[in-house]
A and B are shown apart, each in its own frame.
Chain A
Amino acid sequence: MAKQIYFEDVEAGSAVGPLEKNPTTQQLVKYAGASGDFYQIHYDKDFALANKLPGVILHGALKNAFLGQLMTDFAGEHGWVRKLGVQYRGMDQPGTKVICKGKVTKKYVDGADHLVDCEIWLENEKGEKTTPGTSTVMLPSRGAR
């Protein structure tokens, strides 16, 4: 397991990630199979072009999963991802890398829970945020051990 981060280690402005992903058409096929989303715009280039797309595009839900990985990596074994919200604003195509990033916007204690709110996003190689979102994670506290 990776090194655990604690509530005391983060402040508003602390970076989350980055996590770089290099999706391929093969990954889109694997994701279609694993999720059951067989919409052809994600693996059939002719179908995608006929639907006025530039080619096959990433499943929004796959980008949601990448941002989920960003947050479960951040929370670590002793943390818990409580909320994860994403908005699909722009398309991404396989064959180019995408980068998941985030930053802490707020930390606070609610009862026994040590919570951290984050602004998160997935950006393309041009730095355009195609998939912005927010997340709340519970982190372990050194004081509460």
Chain B
Amino acid sequence: MANKVVTDEVRKQQIGKTGEPRTYEVERGAIRRFAEAIGDPNPLFNDESKARKSRLGGMIAPPTFYRSMGSPIPQVQLPGMGAAFRGLDGGSDWEYLHPVRPGDRITVQSKLVDLRESEGRLGPMVFIVIETSYTNQFGELCATQRSTAIRY
């Protein structure tokens, strides 16, 4: 069955689009507030004096702290979809390469890496796969996030 929304032309035009990069300065208080909000008492995320004695030499951010650093996602145009659609967050795959520390400046940028379509109960369902990179002030890639949004 031919795709109704994600045609070859739409894939060609949309995949690879990037969003505007955005840079965040990581505040120690923001890391603590995030750890408190998720209910994680790990001293590495909460207590500088204990974290300083650890292997990491100081406080770091918990793995999903990156969620607080939003970035504009590429505008995905799906002409076959109509203006009124519903959206769902399908999940995320994270890869962590370097820790994030208080005072770091993290540049976040998103890219559209895949578009797929399947037929749902309410019509076409479109799976939008976005890859987001988080790079620190030293040019080190700290993390990548691959997330899937569903529109139907």
Grouping DSSP codes into helix (H, G, I), strand (E, B) and loop, the B interface class, with mixed when no group exceeds half, is: mixed
Verify if A87 is at the interface (C-beta below 8 Å from B): yes
User: A86–B40 Cα gap in the complex (Å)?
Assistant: 18
Cross-chain contact A21 with B96 (CB below 8 angstroms): no
* B residues adjacent to A (C-beta < 8 A): 30, 33-34, 36-40, 42-44, 50, 54-56, 62-64, 67-68, 70, 88-97
CA distance A62 to B117 in the complex (A): 27
A7 at the interface (CB under 8 A from B): no
| A80 to B42 alpha-carbon distance, docked (Å) | 14
With A27-B39, A85-B94 given, name 17 new contacts (CB 8 A). Answer: A34-B30, A34-B37, A60-B89, A62-B38, A65-B64, A66-B38, A68-B63, A69-B38, A69-B42, A69-B62, A71-B63, A73-B42, A77-B54, A81-B96, A83-B93, A86-B93, A88-B89
Bound state CA distance, A34 and B89, in angstroms?
19
Nearest CB on A from B35, distance (A) = 9
In the complex, what residue of chain B is closest to A138 when comparing beta carbons?
B96
With contact pairs A30-B36, A71-B63 given, residues A82 and B96 touching in the complex (Cβ less than 8 Å): yes
Taking a contact as CB atoms under 8 Å apart, the answer to whether B91 and A65 are in contact is no
Q: Distance (Å) between the CB of A74 and the closest chain B CB?
A: 12
Interface contact A64-B37, CB-CB below 8 Å:
no
Residues of A with C-beta under 8 A to B42: 69, 72-73
Contact of B96 among A30, A34, A83, A133 (CB under 8 A): A83
Q: Bound state CA distance, A87 and B62, in angstroms?
A: 19
**A35 engages B62 (CB within 8 Å):** no
Flag A109-124 by CB within 8 Å of B: 1 or 0 each: 0000000000000000
Residues of A within 8 A of B56 (CB): 77
Given the contacts A1-B50, A77-B44, A86 and B67 also touching, CB distance less than 8 Å: no
A37/B40 in contact, CB under 8 A? no
6 CB contacts below 8 A, A to B, read A61-B92, A68-B38, A72-B63, A80-B96, A85-B93, A88-B89
Given contacts A30-B37, A35-B68, A65-B62, contact A87 B44 (CB under 8 A): no
Contact of A36 among B36, B70, B89 (CB under 8 A): B70
The answer to whether B62 and A1 touch across the interface, beta carbons within 8 angstroms, is no
B67: A residues at CB distance < 8 A: 35-37, 61, 64-65
In the complex where A61-B64, A65-B64, A69-B62 touch, is A33 in contact with B96 (Cβ < 8 A)? no
Binary contact track A36-64/B, C-beta < 8 Å → 1, others 0: 11000000000000000000000011101
